[in-house]
Structure 1
Amino acid sequence: MVSVMLDDPKGAKRRLRALVQPILAPSWLEYNLRPLAIEDRERAAEMLDLLIDILEDSGIGVRRLLVPADEAVEWSTPRRLRAPRNDTVFDLSVNPEGGLNLSVSFEDKNFIEHGLSFEAASTLILSFTNLRLATEEMKI
């Protein structure tokens, strides 16, 4: 994390710009939207499982909530993550029309988005986890 000290306004501005600029840089993702076959949806579910493994291993503080052993896991089965430090819950599923569906729940608030790219879903999970932690720290 980059420390931004306000006693050095010019240096703080430079460091803050260096921190924020990569996030704000335009990056365009192009997708060829076409009807998805079952094989495409199953492949997307495998990619979703890989993404969840990566998110767990990344150290951002999210953990997979396991599905009971007697339930069949199919491409359409939602995968659930939880951030234990702040009780934020993320439900991820494959959208039948392409992309990922993401539902974020914490306290009495919900955020739902459909057809996200893997990159967008990862960014939102990281953002919601950090945003929630930041508000918890501000209460102190």
Structure 2
Amino acid sequence: MADFAGKLYKYDRSENLEAFLDSIGVQGESRTGYINSKPDIKLVKNGDGSFTLNIAVGERTISNTFKSGVEFDEKLPALTCKSTVTVQSNKLVQVQKFPSGKVVTITMEFLPTELKTVSTVEGWAGSATRYFKAA
């Protein structure tokens, strides 16, 4: 993970995003905002062994700090969910538990030239993928 911590990844493209948002029930302005967002992502390794994931969209940055395998309250634009992130070599596997009962899993694979995120939700057979290029 050390090779990727601190590296900036800029949004490139998405696949199957609208179907994913349908599966978790995101509608209205939140849906439009998510579809149109082109976030930058940076993972920072902190001195105490924790990590901070920064997601910047325009002038707004959402930062969440976590320790591998420890549940925390994740701040999202419209709500807060319970989240656990496990660090596995060059991957982060994040499980989000929403108040609605939905459980989303996001696998972030950090590669030298790109970051690939794959999102799934319990009860849906598909997945959505977002690609980011290393800056």
Q: Which structure's relative contact order is higher, taking Cα pairs within 8 Å and 6+ residues apart?
A: 2
Larger % of strand: which?
Answer: 2
| TM-score band w.r.t. shorter chain | 0.3 to 0.5
TM normalised by structure 2 equals 0.38
TM normalised by structure 1 equals 0.37
